[in-house]
Amino acid sequence: MALLQIAEPGMSAAPHQHKLAIGIDLGTTNSLVATVQSGMSLCLQDEHGHALLPSVVRYLENGQIAVGHAAQSAQSEDPKNTISSVKRFMGRRINDIPDTTHIPYTFRDTGVGMVQIETRGGIKSPVEISAEILRTLKTRAEKALGGELTGAVITVPAYFDDAQRQATKDAARLVGLTVLRLLNEPTAAAVAYGLDNASEGIYVIYDLGGGTFDVSILRLSKGIFEVLATNGDSALGGDDFDHRIFCWILSEAGLPPLNQEDTRTLLTKSREVKEWLSENTEAQITSVLSTGQLVNIKLTADKLVELTQTLVTKTLNPTRKALRDAGLSIEEIKGVVMVGGATRMPQIRQAVAEFFKQEPLTNLDPDKVVALGAAIQANVLAGNRSDDDLLLLDVIPLSLGLETMGGLVERVIPRNATLPVARAQDFTTFKDGQTAMSIHVLQGERELVSDCRSLAKFELRGIPPMVAGAARIRVTFQVDADGLLSVTAREQSSGVVADIVVKPSYGLSEDQIINMLKSSFGAAEQDKQARALREAIVDAERLIEAINAALAEDGHLLSADEKASIEAQVNALEATRHGNEKDSIIQAVEALNHATENFAARRMDASVKQAFAGQDLNKLEL
Amino acid sequence: MELLQRNYFELLALPAQFEVDLTLLDQHYRSLQSEVHPDRFVTASANERMQSMQVATQANEAYQTLKNTTARARYLLQLNGIETLEESNTAMPGDFLMLQMEWREAIDDANSAKDISALDQLLVEIRQMAQQLSQGLSVQFAQKSYQEASESVRKLSFIDKISADIHRVIEQLENA
């Protein structure tokens, strides 16, 4: 008979109980949610048995929002209010979108910020539209798993820059989804593939999705997935192939500029034809336009190859660059894994086979592999698997730099640096008594500021007045494991920490997010406070759980007094969290955080020792 | 904080010397990241998450520094109290300067002729030079001839820069 586990009063019962964690592939064309159950990663289905959720959001007349198949089927009848491929607009300004003429939405140019779309439901940011997709997947997961989610791993194209990553994280926040990690899509695919096939060696992940292209080169070794280099094009995907077919239909049938409904109809036809031609040699395109005009033309597979040849070639340049950055030759590649629905096209498979001089691996469902990998990583991050040492070491896809004199960019963190990564840069003042300076952070590989992506402008204030050139302001750029940048600044001689005011060039400001949260939660002030209290309580519960787990594991690193003092603080927080005082909960959280700083340092030190346990340290001349 | 004051050799449990067993370096780096990486601390307290990020950041920095010959030599000299001053000390022996000019000309010529294979060949030549310098460094460190080692590092630094430039030109030619 199993022994009953009885927890101490006030302690959470089973600390090792299975946490509910999900992996989400938030795709341009389709999105999926997956989870690990009984050691198997599987995609969760909706009530109709569909795993794929079309990434389409429709704002209906009655104020409701349809997501997925229902929205997709209304695309032609209601093109302005039915948004597809919204991922292409995440963290982007209107000028970044190459061709808006065939996109049936009414864009709102916000000047400096992210582009917005006018819909029947109001003016929507791509972040809010993406949030609707996440909400649908979250609900699906909660229903299927029957409980509150610990969190999610959400995948992003490896080549997404800081603004696009931040936008994705903001979307999750809008629906109250805890992001355990933003994971690069090719890396997620590598996890699913590598674990399935017990692979070792150097693998290329070629990921051509609906709207983005990534190529990553990884070294797989004993559960460690080390990304050596990544490259790509965050505006190249299956959509572009559809568009080539669409343009060909227009010119072939001699059609005048079309209205939005007809544009949508023919784009949908184009996609269907593209998919059909992956298995067949020719396709008949038949459609009656709203003008009554009949389109009836034939497209052969050969013609399709010809129409899209330049797109296929466009994927090979980033591939070459990634190989060079990794310092590898084609002969050293053990396998090429194909990911993304667009890799079903035979001309893609052929081009990749010719380039790498080997047949690409296509034994995993290219639509699902990213979500499956994300679920595996979510399961690990939530703490459900402690016995094996799956570890992902990913890289920053694009260099980070600073604007210097003459509109030039000085590189601070090079592309393909392993995350997390930090660099410090010293600055000085230009004028006597100068107390502020502004710093412009850019991302990209080009030399001119105007050719790189502006991430943010920082203003450092509160520099102590000194003569010109005397101040030493050390600015540290830290990129975390999600690939997101944070900046801190300190004046070296006085130790003054300068205030940093961040003006994100593309992302949403904190105010905008709060406004969106308000509007999505019914706007009432009471709701807002209830929500803040709820967030504080969740924070407190998480911290108590984390500290109790740390005490159980490493309590021996503390003296009896130290341990008693931390336990007292835990109890204090425990007592406070049951009250309804948000501020006192936050204070008690801070107090406990402060009281455990040394403990955290000792535990980290012990972790480092653990890494080399069993080795003869004397021999290593430590 | 004690942990972050360790030097890179200590952090990766390797002897502080120029010769590094690259296989061991890889192994130790992975063992260390397996313990300290932020992915291991997703549900931990804010303190631990912050510390994990700092130590993992430093582990990456240490690994990159020790893996690269030039960076490792420069770092080892620093530990011995010697700055290589590549930015300010650009004095070089005449023959090395000549060699550099020749390389620069060869890059320009290959660039105008759009000759990628000539550039690849040049990279091979330059890599041989780097290997010679690296062998020299072994001897210089063994003999504690730090001034000579400093000069080798400065030369290697030039070579790294030229190699990077060649890669950039190749990339430009391929994109054209």
Model confidence pLDDT, tens digit, residues A434-464: 888 888 888 888 888 888 888 888 777 778 8
Answer with the one of B52, B67, B82 that is the final residue of a domain: B67
Q: Tell me, yes or no, if B123 comes closer than 8 A to chain A by beta carbon.
A: no
State phi, psi for A211 to the nearest 5 degrees. Answer: -135, 0
Cβ-based burial of A432 (10 A; exposed 0-12, middle 13-18, buried ≥19): exposed
Strand boundaries in A242-399, DSSP class E: 282-288, 294-300, 335-339, 391-393
ipTM over 0.85: yes
Note the CATH number of domain A400-509.
2.60.34.10
Q: Does domain A21-200+363-388 have CATH number 3.40.50.300?
A: no
Token pair for residue B173?
């030619």
Q: Which residues of A touch B36 (CB under 8 A)?
A: 604, 607-608, 611
Residue of A nearest to B62 (CA): A421
Q: Tell me, yes or no, if B30 comes closer than 8 A to chain A by beta carbon.
A: yes
What are the DSSP calls for A170-199, one per residue? Answer: HHHHHTT--EEEEEEHHHHHHHHHHHHHT-
C-alpha–C-alpha distance, residues A168 and A88, integer Å = 12
- How many other CB atoms are found less than 10 A from the CB of residue A604? 25
Tell me how close the Cα of B94 comes to any Cα of chain A, in angstroms.
31
B58 located within any domain:
yes
Domain ranges (residues) in chain A: 21-200+363-388, 400-509, 524-611
Q: Choose the closest CB to A611 out of B32, B44, B174.
A: B32
pLDDT at A10: 43
Cross-chain Cβ contact B53/A478 below 8 Å: yes
pLDDT tens for each residue of A108-124: 877 667 889 999 999 99
pLDDT tens for each residue of B29-71: 999 999 999 999 998 888 899 999 999 999 999 999 999 999 9
Cross-chain Cβ contact A543/B45 below 8 Å: yes
pLDDT at A395: 94
Q: Tell me, yes or no, if A411 comes closer than 8 A to chain B by beta carbon.
A: no
Q: What is the CATH number of the domain that holds B117?
A: 1.20.1280.20
Please compute the mean of the pLDDT values over residues A376-391 and round it to a whole number.
82
Query: Is B44 in the same domain as B108?
Result: no
B20 located within any domain:
yes
Residue-range definition of the domain harbouring residue B48: 3-67
pLDDT at B171: 81
B18 located within any domain:
yes
Q: Tell me, yes or no, if B27 comes closer than 8 A to chain A by beta carbon.
A: no
pLDDT at A519: 60
Q: What's at A305, amino acid-wise?
A: V
Residue of A nearest to B21 (CA): A620
**A208 contacts A274 by C-beta, under 8 angstroms:** no
Which band of pLDDT confidence, cut at 50, 70 and 90, is reported for residue A291? confident
B42 located within any domain:
yes
B79 located within any domain:
no
Cross-chain Cβ contact A600/B45 below 8 Å: yes
pLDDT at A196: 75
Query: Is B51 in the same domain as B114?
Result: no
**Most confidently predicted of A131-140, A289-298, A594-603, B157-166:** A131-140
Cross-chain Cβ contact A391/B33 below 8 Å: yes
Query: Is B113 in the same domain as B55?
Result: no
Tell me how close the Cα of B34 comes to any Cα of chain A, in angstroms.
6
Which 8-state DSSP code applies to residue A450?
A: G
Please compute the mean of the pLDDT values over residues A129-154 and round it to a whole number.
94
Query: Is B104 in the same domain as B171?
Result: yes
pLDDT at A111: 64
Count contacts between A and B (CB, < 8 Å).
Answer: 127
Cross-chain Cβ contact B45/A383 below 8 Å: no
Average pLDDT, chain A: 86
C-alpha–C-alpha distance, residues B148 and B141, integer Å = 9
Query: Is B60 in the same domain as B110?
Result: no
Please compute the mean of the pLDDT values over residues B135-152 and round it to a whole number.
91
Q: Tell me, yes or no, if A398 comes closer than 8 A to chain B by beta carbon.
A: no
pLDDT at A258: 84
Query: Is B100 in the same domain as B58?
Result: no
pLDDT tens for each residue of A208-247: 988 889 999 999 988 899 999 999 998 899 999 999 999 9
B103 located within any domain:
yes
Average pLDDT, chain B: 89
Residues 56-85 of B with CB under 8 A from A: 56-57, 60-61, 63-64
Cross-chain Cβ contact B35/A607 below 8 Å: yes
C-alpha–C-alpha distance, residues B80 and B17, integer Å = 11
Catalytic (active-site) positions of A = 25, 87, 185, 207
Residues 50-69 of A with CB under 8 A from B: none
pLDDT for residue A549 is more than 70: yes
Q: Which residues of A touch B11 (CB under 8 A)?
A: 608
pLDDT above 70 covers a percentage of chain A that reads 89
pLDDT for residue A520 is more than 60: no
Residues 146-175 of A with CB under 8 A from B: 150-151
B14 located within any domain:
yes
pLDDT at A253: 87
3-state DSSP helix/strand/coil % of chain B, to nearest 5? 75, 0, 25
Q: Tell me, yes or no, if A610 comes closer than 8 A to chain B by beta carbon.
A: yes
pLDDT for residue A336 is more than 90: yes
Domains in chain B: how many in total? 2
B106 located within any domain:
yes
Token pair for residue A149?
């989610």
Token pair for residue A328?
């590898």
Cross-chain Cβ contact A604/B174 below 8 Å: no
Please compute the mean of the pLDDT values over residues B117-142 and round it to a whole number.
91
Q: Which has the closest alpha carbon to B22: B58, B57, B64?
A: B64
Q: Tell me, yes or no, if A613 comes closer than 8 A to chain B by beta carbon.
A: no
Query: Is B63 in the same domain as B98?
Result: no
Query: Is B99 in the same domain as B165?
Result: yes
Sign of torsion, CA A59 A62 A63 A66?
negative
Q: Topology of domain A524-611, per CATH?
A: Substrate Binding Domain Of Dnak; Chain:A; Domain 2 (1.20.1270)
Residues 97-156 of A with CB under 8 A from B: 150-151
Please compute the mean of the pLDDT values over residues A505-529 and round it to a whole number.
60
